[in-house]
Amino acid sequence: MFACDQISDAQSTLCCSEFVPGNDLSAVDWKLEGQANVNYGALMQALADFSATATAMASDVSNACQAIAVDLGEDPNAVRETQADKRAEGWCNLAIAKIKAKVGNAQIQLDYQPPACSINASLQASCEARCSADVACEITPAQVILRCEPGQLSGKCSAQCSARCEGSANLAVECTGTCSGACEGTCNGQCDNQLGNQCNGRCNGECQGKCRGSCDVKAGANVKCEGDCTGGCSVEVTAPKCKGALKPPSAECNVDAQCNGSCEASASAKVDCTEPSLTLTGAAGIEDVIATLKVNLPKIIEVGEGRGKLAIDNAQSIFALTTGGSLTFDSTKAVACLVPATTAMTAAVSNIEKSLTSSIAVTAAVKVN
């Protein structure tokens, strides 16, 4: 006879209640021995992080498309799908139909700055510390700087920025150079929205003033960057971030390459991306279309050209870890947890695919000149 607590424990082991997308799984005992338990845990964390990110992307695209469609007259309850991927596809199809119906043969000019994304270096290093069982491997700002390629290093610059000063739609940064968003100041070139002597739009030339986007600083024209400076600060940056993958950790923190690969996948799943700035102009009579696109299209572009593209690369690395590694699953719990993890991964891939295709389709529906 089994006691009730024994039955409960057996059910928990067989059903794997521990794997939950988005949760911190670092404290879970997967009932494996030694390094195998650590390696398996790192892989499960990567799968959980990836699944949560994919769902969030599909939800963001779905919500933005729903807002566009409803703003243009669609019934707020038109899409009743509950799956994130199908909901995103449904609302974005309706948004596209509404845009086309409203715009007709009118022209919309769209210019935008692609989002700038950086990985979560702190999360990666914390995971690597568990891989090596050495708390000394926890990352510090100095290690982020050491392990990041100089051209990919970004952070707050208290002196002069000589490379790229990154602003956004909500943050105008000082600029003397090429502005990838809206230039607010003097445009030594062609400005698509000139108000007297002041440019307030896309500048095809050198922008002097403020940039709502990223400013590639002109050689020799150092600026004081209010946002993040990437690729060149005259002093050491603070709050450093890395736009690319971190270099491998030191030898003492690199006990298991497979475990560290899972850590990199988790960090890549949790990227931070700036919302792209954009400029939109259109013919008279479609002001409602322009208004809703200005609010909601940046969120769609941020997924389509930022998080979504990174997620595709991340999916490939996770599949490689899952199928090409030497993980051992000699515990009932480890075997059981592969079931929800695999299901979540399948749903995540679909969420990413629908997020990307829907984002691209909506952006394409807006005529780009």
Other CB atoms closer than 10 Å to residue 7's CB: what's the count?
Answer: 10
Average pLDDT over residues 26-51: 90
How far apart, in whole angstroms, are the C-alpha atoms of residue 121 and residue 65?
Answer: 32
Helices (H), the chain: 4-15, 34-71, 84-103, 121-132, 141-147, 257-269, 287-302, 308-324, 332-365
- The confidence score (pLDDT) of residue 12 equals 47
- The confidence score (pLDDT) of residue 325 equals 55
In order of 23, 261, 263, 337, the CA distances from 18 in angstroms are 9, 22, 19, 8
pLDDT beyond 50 at 285? yes
For residue 347 the two structure tokens come to 């749903």
Q: Are 314 and 320 in contact (CB under 8 A)?
A: no
Kindly indicate the confidence band of residue 111, based on its pLDDT and cuts at 50, 70 and 90: confident
pLDDT beyond 80 at 122? no
Nearest to 47 by CA among 75, 20, 9: 20
Give the mean pLDDT of the chain: 86
- The confidence score (pLDDT) of residue 319 equals 78
Is the pTM higher than 0.85? The answer reads no
Q: Are 219 and 163 in contact (CB under 8 A)?
A: no
pLDDT beyond 60 at 361? yes
- The confidence score (pLDDT) of residue 110 equals 83
- The confidence score (pLDDT) of residue 367 equals 64
174 Cβ neighbours under 8 A, 6+ residues apart: 165, 209, 210, 211, 215, 223, 224, 225, 226
pLDDT tens sequence across 304-333: 888 888 888 778 778 777 766 556 667 888
Q: For the chain, which residues make up each domain, given as ranges? A: 30-116+274-296+306-317+329-369, 149-243
- The confidence score (pLDDT) of residue 369 equals 40
Percentage above 70 pLDDT, the chain: 93
Tracing tokens 């404290």 back to the chain, one arrives at 27
Average pLDDT over residues 214-237: 92
Average pLDDT over residues 88-100: 96
Is the CA virtual torsion 353, 265, 12, 338 positive or negative? Answer: positive
- The confidence score (pLDDT) of residue 327 equals 61
